[in-house]
Amino acid sequence: MRATNLTLLTDLYELTMMQGYFKNPTDEIVVFDAFYRKNPCDGGYAIACGLQQVIEYIKDLHFSYDDITYLRSLNIFDNEFLNYLAGFHFSGDIYAIPEGTVMFPREPMLKVVAPIMQAQLVETAILNILNHQSLIATKASRVCYAAQGDGIMEFGLRRAQGPDAGLYGARAAVIGGCIGTSNVLTGQMFDVPVLGTHAHSWIMSFPSEYEAFKTYASLYPDACILLVDTYDTLGSGVPNAIRVFKEMREAGIKPKRYGIRLDSGDLAYLSKKAYEMLAEAGFEDATISASSDLDEYLINSLKQQGAKINSWGVGTRLITSNDNPSFGGVYKLAAIKNAGDAEFTPKIKLSENSVKITNPGNKTIFRIYDKETGKIRADLISLVGESFPEDQDLVIFDPNEVWKKTRIKAGTFTVRELLKPVFIEGKCVYEDDATTMELRQRCQEELNTLWDETRRLVNPHEVYVDLSDGLYDMKKQLLKEMTKDK
């Protein structure tokens, strides 16, 4: 049975900590940052995705009668706390990077500013949503980049890790660049194109391959893509497809889209031979579509081999991001203050692993663009309230190797703040009503702000993510204070 809302989509310790805070009352307001430490797939960037579902989750955040009954049955929570949960609502602030935006490690993709109990409760669901959808959107953008402008269809539903992963994963894949999906429910819910051909079983259910093709063409003359590898790709599949295409031409039928699909074998060799056969018969404009466990690396290799494929169906390795199946986003406390106080007290998490030392304070992100090219020069994580005038020189530096500095001359750059208000005092103020296809277009525009060196599939150039002077000084001071007795 599926839950009616996602409020209990949380780890138990979030609720036990909430009860601990409830029994030890505090009016503390906290800042939590959701961020990730390493780009997926060893790439040069990630794509922010999942904010729409986060908004829906926060709007519907409440404990139902059934939720309270279930929690009571665990014999962990007392009645006073459960009565509090029965009237629970989110009253804090949330800021986030908009969906479809390019982002990089260590910068907050979402920030929660709220009473500590509320901020604690929403951690698990926010990470669950953003981690999965950002991962698939990023993977899709890589696959589409490898295809060099050819259309990519997402069709991994049957291999996704459950219905929600298939549903929202398909949406994320479209945002990342896919032209459509085989997932009909995703098409209905998010108004994206649904695409598909037919299975081998369709061919096998007819007395002959030719009859199967002819029947399919009569049913769907405007989108006639025939699967040619059920028996013998070059010996029967392609010849029978050509026979049907000739009959359509002789009958005056002019399909909007027609061609063949290859689902097995040496795709480079078969596509080139199939193209020769199609072209000789006068069908050089036919689509040659391919599937069969594709990913960005195999597509890139097939392109290098001169494969005549111009349409790609990508399933398992996209919807599961099989070479990098988790995004690794985390949610860390960054600052705290008592209600009514003007300033936050910064908090920092130490670690033996330097990459896991967090950035403290109430922060935002500024993106620095080259004014002439529109390409990203760097991202600057700063404290809220800092500014970086475009008419003044800007000096940025590597926060780990501070002697590495770059001076960006005044007038040669533009600045954009990435974090946008989503909820203020519990009320949704986010005005981005972009459709999924509009988010896809936004994502393409965002990807165009990356240098080619950052988009390459192997050993990409790393975009600088630096700290402002104010944030760097704060972090350095906290590290000094916390390690002074060691």
Domain limits of the chain? 12-136+325-482, 197-292
Mean pLDDT of 334-363: 92
Mean pLDDT of 438-456: 98
CATH number assigned to the domain covering 197-292: 3.20.20.70
The residues that bridge with 259 in the sheet, in sequence order, are 225, 287
pLDDT of the residue at 4: 60
Mean pLDDT of 52-59: 97
Compute the distance between CA of residue 111 and CA of residue 34 in angstroms, rounded to an integer: 6
pLDDT of the residue at 485: 64
pLDDT of the residue at 26: 87
pLDDT of the residue at 19: 97
CA geometry: angle at 313 spanning 325 and 49, to 5°?
45
- Amino acid identity for residue 406 in this structure: T
Query: Are residues 225 and 287 in contact, defined by beta-carbon separation less than 8 angstroms?
Result: yes
Query: Are residues 396 and 406 in contact, defined by beta-carbon separation less than 8 angstroms?
Result: yes
Sign of the CA dihedral running 173, 175, 179, 181 = positive
Q: Given 3.40.50.300, 3.20.140.10, 3.30.360.10, 3.40.50.920, which CATH number is that of 12-136+325-482? A: 3.20.140.10
pLDDT tens by residue, 260-273: 999 999 999 999 99
With cut-offs at 50, 70 and 90, classify the pLDDT of residue 355: confident
pLDDT of the residue at 5: 84
State phi, psi for 382 to the nearest 5 degrees. Answer: -135, 170
pLDDT of the residue at 402: 87
pLDDT of the residue at 167: 97
Which helix (H) or strand (E) segment holds residue 385: the answer is none
pTM of the shown model: 0.96
Q: Report the phi/psi class of residue 367: left, alpha or beta, with left for phi > 0 and alpha for psi in -120 to 50.
A: beta
The 10 Å CB-count burial string (b at 16+, else e) for 204-238 is: eeeeebbebbbebbeeeeeebbbbbbbeebbebbb
- Amino acid identity for residue 438 in this structure: E
| Average pLDDT over the chain, rounded to an integer | 96
3-state SS, residue 37: coil
How many Cβ atoms sit within 10 Å of the Cβ of residue 323? 13
Mean pLDDT of 134-157: 98
State phi, psi for 309 to the nearest 5 degrees. Answer: -90, 135
Mean pLDDT of 116-141: 98
Whether residue 317 has pLDDT greater than 50: yes
Query: Are residues 116 and 17 in contact, defined by beta-carbon separation less than 8 angstroms?
Result: no
> 399 is written with which tokens?
């926060």
With cut-offs at 50, 70 and 90, classify the pLDDT of residue 398: confident
Would strands 394-397 and 405-408 be described as parallel, antiparallel, or unpaired?
A: antiparallel
Compute the distance between CA of residue 398 and CA of residue 403 in angstroms, rounded to an integer: 7
pLDDT of the residue at 221: 96
Closest CA to 178 of 51, 83, 285, 312: 312
With cut-offs at 50, 70 and 90, classify the pLDDT of residue 352: confident
Query: Are residues 483 and 396 in contact, defined by beta-carbon separation less than 8 angstroms?
Result: no
With cut-offs at 50, 70 and 90, classify the pLDDT of residue 483: confident
Mean pLDDT of 412-424: 98
The answer to which of 88-97, 151-160, 302-311, 351-360 has the lowest mean pLDDT is: 351-360
pLDDT tens by residue, 205-233: 999 999 999 999 999 999 999 999 999 99
pLDDT of the residue at 234: 98
pLDDT of the residue at 486: 57
